[in-house]
Amino acid sequence: MANDPKKDKKSIKGPTPEDIVNGFNTLRSEQRSLATKLSEFEMDLNEHKLVIETLKNVNDERKCYRLVGGILTERKVKDVLPVLVANKERLTEFIEKLTEQLSKKGTEINEYKEKHSIRIRGQEDLKQEDEANLAESRGNVLVS
């Protein structure tokens, strides 16, 4: 029963600084994971483009090998090429969606920073140092 008044006080105050920092770190880790996925899919897209360009110059009846679910399968170029083109189109659409999600997450992080007045250490300090160095360098003149 002695804990009830403490819970009431915490609920009135709002989130603690630790909760705010944890929320910010969670948002940043989500943004990092989205960026990692995006780069992986962009690499896959580049590989698909390279293979498609290579197979366009090859006879349609030629044998080629495709990795499907960890199993290497033997197919003909005429069977594999349309599948690769379809996969490339799906990858392009997925990359566009991931890019949108990444920009939304960046906006969400910026709004969170503004809402909770979050400053990242180092950024503001560097700006102030640059301004101070610029002001100091204006006064010095070297004559030879």
Pairing state of beta strands 71-76 and 63-68?
antiparallel
For the chain, give the percent of residues with pLDDT over 70.
76
Ordered by where they begin, the domains of the chain are 15-115 (1.10.287.370)
| pLDDT confidence tier of residue 103, bands split at 50, 70 and 90 | very high
Output the CA–CA distances (angstroms, integers) from residue 77 to 13, 46, 60, 69, 120, in the order listed: 66, 19, 5, 19, 53
Mean pLDDT of 87-97: 98
| Res 31: pLDDT | 97
Output the CA–CA distances (angstroms, integers) from residue 105 to 27, 37, 121, in the order listed: 7, 14, 21
pLDDT at 86 exceeding the cut of 90: yes
**How would DSSP label each residue in 83-126?**
HHHHHHHHHHHHHHHHHHHHHHHHHHHHHHHHHTT---TTHHHH
What is the rounded average pLDDT for all residues in the chain?
86
Mean pLDDT of 71-91: 97
| pLDDT confidence tier of residue 119, bands split at 50, 70 and 90 | confident
Q: How many CB atoms lie within 10 A of CB 27?
A: 18
Mean pLDDT of 51-75: 95
| pLDDT confidence tier of residue 15, bands split at 50, 70 and 90 | confident
Q: What is the rounded distance in angstroms from the CA atom of residue 122 to the CA atom of residue 110?
A: 17
Mean pLDDT of 103-110: 96
Q: Which two tokens stand for residue 30?
A: 């989500």
